[in-house]
Every structure is written in structure tokens, then in C-alpha cells.
Amino acid sequence: MDNGIRISADAMTVKMQQHEITAQNTANIDTDYYKSKDLFFVDMDDGAPQTVETTDFSSGPVRNTGNPLDVTLGKNYFLKAEDGSGSAYYIKDGRLSMNSSGELTFQGMKILNTSGTSIKINSLSGFKITKNGSCMENNEVVGKLDIVQAGASARIVPQDNGAFKIDDDGVAAPAGYSLITQGMREGSNVNRVNEMIKMVNTLNSYEANQKLIQANDDAVEKAIAEFGKF
């Protein structure tokens, strides 16, 4: 019976973890480029399921903004950037900016071209990005965005600044890529209905496990009170 209580308690903890993820997804239901998280359950023979947190990298719904610094990349594709100290980061969030030197940036990190340097433009009015990532200013090529694809077993770790780190042998430059779209933004890929359903299921499951703990507790109490009677 103690084992029963432990299993139910573990299950409740796991359900609370699932709920935290639902809360995080719901809090970011309107955050552009947000990738929804989920809990992946692995059945264990002797207890509550083990959990692994996963990120869903599918694209959110795209919309036209007309902002030349907005881009969408397509599922599993990232831009490459580097911060002030030269560390490499991978960007999925296409809300780009410019710094005062005219370089393309994201959250202060410089977006890199295929030669590994930053992309510099003089003015936004003539700035165009073609479908394969070439950057043009007034019809002259000024650089090509370094767009990479994460391998199937790549370890993609989200960072605090909204970018990702991917272990080096997990990325490759895709051949024949032509999915980048300028002037459009991706919304959050959180599915409202799914999150609501998950939340209802989590609550029911939580309650069911709570009742089980109470039942086990009652059984133990009975065992102490009745069987121990002299």
C-alpha cells in the first residue's frame, strides 16, 4: 500500500509538471515564433511514467507584416548568429533588427552570412531577401544568409535570449533551400484546443490519483485500526 501511495504521488507530481508546461504554452499563446512544449511519457514498469520535455518545432501560422526585417524560415531551419564574444547561436525567431552600423541583428547578436561575417545594409527601403536567403540592396547582392537545418538527432537547447544552441555536428546547410519569406511573421504554434484538452485531462488524472492516495490511506488506517485489534 505504501508502494501504491508512492506511485500515485509520483503520478500527481508528473501531472503537475504537465500542467506547468500547459501554463507556459498558454502564457505564450500569442508570442510570435514561440514553439510549444510537451511532456513525452515513457512507461515504467514499477511506477509513474518517466518524463522528457520536448519542443515542437513546427511553424506557427504566418501573417503578412510588411516589415522588411521580419522573416519566416520553415520548420527545422535556423539562422546562424554570433554574440559579442563570438559564440554561435541559432535563431528561429524571425523578428530581426538592425544595429547602428547597419548590421542585421537579433537581440544584439549579429546574423551571419555564408562567409561567417555580418550582413550590412545602408537603408531598409531597398532591402530585399530572396527565397534562398540572398540579401539584396537595390538589386545588388550584399550577402547570403547562413541558413542551417538541424539533424534528426541534434541536441537543440533553448537559451535565455530566445535563440538556441545546437551541437556542431547537428547542423548542416540544406541544399536547394528556398523557403525564407521576408515581410511575414510566424505566430505561436500553440494549439488552443489541445492545451485546453490537456488541461482537463491533467486535472481529471490529478483528481483520480488523489482519490487513490486517499483510498490507500484509508486502507492503511483500517489495517492499523482493525487488524491490530486485540
Partner 1 sequence: MAAEEQKLDLIANNMANMNTVGYKFQDAFVQEMSQVDDDGKNVQINPAGSYVASTSRNFTQGAIASTGNSLDVAINGDGFFEVTLPDDTTGYTRGGQFSVDANGSLVTKDGNKVYPDVTVPPDTTSITINTSGQISALKNDGTTQVLGSFELAKFINPGGLTDEGGGIFKPNANSGDPVVDAPGNQGIGTLQQGYTEGSNVDLSTEMLKMMLTQRSYEMNTKVLQTTDQMMSLANGIKR
Closer to partner 1 by Cβ: residue 6 or 37: 37
Closer to partner 1 by Cβ: residue 186 or 195: 195
Site for partner 1, rule CB under 8 A? 12, 15-16, 19-24, 26-32, 34, 37, 53, 66-67, 95, 97-102, 122-123, 125, 157-160, 162, 165, 192, 195-196, 199, 202-203, 206-207, 210, 213-214, 217
Closer to partner 1 by Cβ: residue 80 or 92: 92
For residues 36 and 25, the answer to whether their CB atoms sit within 8 Å is yes
| Residue 98 Cβ vs partner 1, minimum distance, rounded to whole Å | 4
Closer to partner 1 by Cβ: residue 157 or 173: 157
87 Cα distance to chain centroid: 20
| Residue 175 Cβ vs partner 1, minimum distance, rounded to whole Å | 30
| Residue 99 Cβ vs partner 1, minimum distance, rounded to whole Å | 7
DSSP H helices in 95-191: none
| Residue 181 Cβ vs partner 1, minimum distance, rounded to whole Å | 18
In angstroms, the CA 113 to CA 124 distance is: 18
In angstroms, the CA 142 to CA 49 distance is: 52
For residues 57 and 37, the answer to whether their CB atoms sit within 8 Å is no
For residues 56 and 210, the answer to whether their CB atoms sit within 8 Å is no
| Residue 160 Cβ vs partner 1, minimum distance, rounded to whole Å | 6
Single out the residue of 141, 153, 151, 152 nearest to residue 115, CA to CA. Answer: 141
